[in-house]
């Protein structure tokens, strides 16, 4: 009986690790894509990349909204 609890806990930990790994991969891919697009746009315009504090704040609010939406998934 005790052995079954340990096995169940291990499988619970596996889904957590898989979820974290998928999140890391998706986050890295998204960040890399965003950086690539920003650098390509700056190259096309022929000027160095410059993000104002207002643009940074706007981006931060958008990311916070996205995270909030992710947190509410499945809470219907």
Count Cα atoms within 13 angstroms, Cβ side, for 59: 8
Q: How many CB atoms lie within 10 A of CB 42?
A: 13
Residue 72 is encoded by which pair of tokens? Answer: 């509410």
What pLDDT shows up at residue 75? 81
DSSP character at residue 15: H
> pTM of the entire structure?
0.67
Q: What is the pLDDT of residues 6-40, one digit of tens each?
A: 555 566 678 888 999 999 999 999 999 999 999 99
**Residue-wise DSSP of 22-68:** HHHHHHHHHHHHHHHHHHHHHHHHTS-----HHHHHHHHHHHHHHHH
Q: What percent of the chain is modeled with pLDDT above 70?
A: 82
Q: Where are the domains of the chain?
A: 2-71
- Residue 1 pLDDT more than 70? no
- Residue 57 pLDDT more than 90? yes
């Amino acid at each position: 009986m005790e052995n079954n609890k340990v096995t169940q806990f291990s499988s619970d930990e596996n889904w957590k690790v898989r979820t974290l790994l998928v999140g890391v991969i998706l986050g890295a891919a998204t960040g890399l894509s965003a950086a690539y697009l920003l650098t390509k746009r700056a190259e096309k315009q022929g000027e160095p990349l410059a993000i104002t504090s207002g643009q940074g704040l706007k981006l931060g609010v958008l990311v916070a909204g996205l995270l909030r939406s992710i947190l509410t998934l499945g809470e219907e």
